[in-house]
Chains A and B, each alone.
Chain A
Amino acid sequence: MTPRFARLRRAIQLALHAWNGFFFTPQPATPIALYRILYGLLVITDLALLHGDWLNWYGVNGLVRLDTLLKLGPGRNLGLFWLIPQNDAWIEAFFWVFLLFAVFLTIGFLSKFSSVAVFVCLSSLLRRNAYILHSGDTLLRACGFFLMFAPTGAALSVDRLLAIWRGKEGLEKPLFWPWAQRMIQIQMSLMYFSTFAWKSIGSDWRDGTALYYTTRLVQFQRFPMPTLDNGIILKLATWSALFVEFACGVLVWVRKLRYWVLLAGVCLHLSIEYSMNIALFQWVAMAGYVTFIDPADLTRTWSWLRRRLGGRLGVPADVIYDGNCARAVRQANVLRAIDVFGRLNILDLRSSAVTSALPAAPEPARLLICRRGSIYEGAKGMLAISRLVPLLWPLAPLSLVLSQPKQSLSVAKAVK
């Protein structure tokens, strides 16, 4: 083997190793699941904003009629609008079905199917009326494409709870290849780099006067802004916007700089959101930043939040279950999964701590909740812990009225 060939082979091996490390090093699904939630909320908001004018944009007698588009090209792809009957009732129904899947995606129910459905619906809006879409829609679609391939339901989702409930998954967090998440990151950075590249061609951005014009476009104006007349301030503002876009496209890949770059990106987007009326784009872009957060940092942040906020939810409760009963074990596992603030001590009935404290064994398949010296079971038990577990907060008002203890006992203290 010649030295040149050996060097080439070594370089290819290194490149393949780096590629595999970047796209295929297993990691938890928490960041992509968090992104799924934000993404779903943004699609819901987008639909809410569109709702009042839905038929004006997509209706039979709207501003752009279907037959006009068909005249442009008979074989034109119109997405789902091609499949549904052309009357306003069906087009309204399409809106509600789209919204339903956006809600499903947000809560992580039928996540895989919902992500595909949301992407198909977003693409259908593009094909039916592209003349009202802006960069926020483009980014939603571009990231939504990769979301279809991501393990979106593997964390923070109803799917995950159902899998735990059915005994298909345990409490340990499974690891996945993050390639879909990496593609969303690349899409985000390409967007910034592209906008930087386009602006670098323009003389107004290079000479630092671009913001003079953007701040004077009356149709874009939002909240009051000081006029940018001063030459130095105008140039600094224009060039700093350009630099932040470059940084978000390129420097974001430098690990040590990443969070500072993202912080600068947030500042840029919030300032645009304040000053310019560009619906949703800033939020769609900022939501993408979640995919750049290291899972370990997410865990650390969540632990910090748990420490800060958990105590404010009230004294912890003991949840006692029968470890020999499969149903009770599954119930206990679901509670462990939703106990995000760590306010529940979930204990097997057969553990020594419990046997010494409980006067009599509970009925099989029922959980016992011990809180503030009282014992609750069944639905009343759920009400008793509803203030401690965010997913049960909707039940909290009921707990004030309905939650009566089965008996009073200072078990909680004894169990500890």
Chain B
Amino acid sequence: MGWLAKISDNDRVQRAAISCLLVAQLTIMASQAIPVDFYPVTALHGKAALTAIQGELSHYASALGLRQDWMMFAPNPMRENTFIDAEITYRSGRKRIWTFPQMQELGYAERYAKERYRKFANERLWVKDASFLWPDAARYIARLNREPSDPPQIVKLAHYRCIIPWAPAPGEQPEPERWEREVFFTYTVNPGDLL
């Protein structure tokens, strides 16, 4: 498609056509990039209009594979540390805890390569909207921990969270970490899941 950048003799028509596409693309990009609560938008009473435009254009952006949002640590960064683990109960009644790779426990190179596990587990998996992912994840964990003589029977996915406390005042002791655990999915393993 590089020919579209070639300068042609009869370039007015070509330039006009390209310009129309650019305007459309710029509109799609800009509508996604600007948050509806951004001060200039609300000051101009444009929140409803921008929301409507975003709703209309996001389908096109998704179809092109160009949907984008840039909420990196925004509007506010997370205020809690989280991780996901799985409690696996075997047929014998034995229990074992399995965790997704924890970045802080890996070497520098390895944590760079495994960063997507943090994204998947800590940001996406435990969210209720992603509940359709839970059986697959439980099956995957069961397969990973299978033992022919003592197969896994139950997998419980649990979400751990610990609020980051504000820095203590000079002379005061920092607050101790308080981890909360919530089992968000329990899966009974079928024999077919382990094949």
On A, residues with C-beta under 8 Å from B are: 19-20, 23-24, 26, 49-50, 52-53, 56-57, 61-65, 68, 71-72, 77, 79, 111-112, 115-116, 119, 122-123, 126-127, 131-135, 138, 141-142, 145, 148-154, 175-180, 183, 186-187, 190-191, 193-195, 197-205, 210, 212-214, 216-223, 229, 277-279
Whether B29 lies near A49 (C-beta < 8 A) is: no
Is the Cβ of B5 less than 8 Å from the Cβ of A179? yes
Smallest CB separation, A407 vs chain B (Å): 46
Asked if B2 and A218 make an inter-chain contact with CB atoms under 8 angstroms apart, the answer reads: no
Query: B111 to A222, Cβ gap below 8 A?
Result: yes
Chain A residues whose CB sits within 8 angstroms of the CB of B65 once the complex forms: 79, 119, 122-123, 126-127, 141, 145
Contact B73 A131 (CB under 8 A): no
CA distance A65 to B136 in the complex (A): 7
30 contacts between A and B (CB under 8 A): A19-B19, A53-B113, A63-B140, A64-B133, A68-B132, A71-B132, A126-B65, A127-B65, A131-B130, A132-B116, A150-B5, A151-B5, A176-B2, A176-B6, A176-B7, A190-B29, A194-B34, A194-B35, A195-B72, A197-B35, A212-B167, A213-B79, A214-B77, A217-B81, A219-B82, A219-B103, A219-B122, A277-B111, A277-B118, A278-B115
Are B2 and A204 in touch, CB under 8 angstroms? no
Say yes or no for B183: interface residue by CB 8 A criterion: no
Q: How far is the CA of A269 from the CA of B28 in the complex (A)?
A: 27
Q: Are A23 and B6 in contact, CB atoms less than 8 angstroms apart?
A: no
Q: Say yes or no: A199 contacts B74, CB within 8 Å.
A: yes
| Residues in B5-47 with C-beta less than 8 Å from chain A | 5-7, 11, 15, 18-19, 22, 25-26, 29-30, 32-35, 37-39
- Would A57 and B116 count as touching, CB distance under 8 A? yes
14 additional A-B pairs beyond A194-B33, A213-B79, beta carbons within 8 Å, are: A23-B19, A56-B140, A64-B136, A68-B136, A79-B65, A132-B119, A138-B70, A149-B5, A180-B5, A198-B75, A210-B73, A219-B102, A219-B104, A219-B122
Docked-complex contact A190 and B33, CB < 8 angstroms: yes
Contacts of A177 in B (CB 8 A): 4-7, 15, 18
Grouping DSSP codes into helix (H, G, I), strand (E, B) and loop, the A interface class, with mixed when no group exceeds half, is: helix
- Contact assessment for A63 and B137 in the assembled complex, using a CB-CB cutoff below 8 Å: yes
Mask of B85-101 contacts with A, CB within 8 angstroms, 1/0: 00000000000000000
- Which of these, B64, B83, B120, contacts A131 with CB under 8 Å? B120
Knowing A134-B119, A177-B7, the reply to whether A201 touches B37 (Cβ < 8 A) is yes
On chain A, the residues within 8 Å of B63 by CB distance are: 77
Which of the residues B77, B135, B139 comes within 8 Å of A213, measured between beta carbons?
Answer: B77
Q: Name the one of B29, B32, B81 contacting A219, with C-beta atoms under 8 angstroms.
A: B81
Give 4 closest A-B pairs by Cβ, nearest first.
A202-B75, A123-B65, A198-B74, A194-B33
The answer for the CA separation of A116 and B65 in the assembled complex, in Å, is 13
Q: Judge whether A220 and B103 touch: CB under 8 Å.
A: yes
**Contact between chains at A217 and B77 (CB < 8 Å):** yes
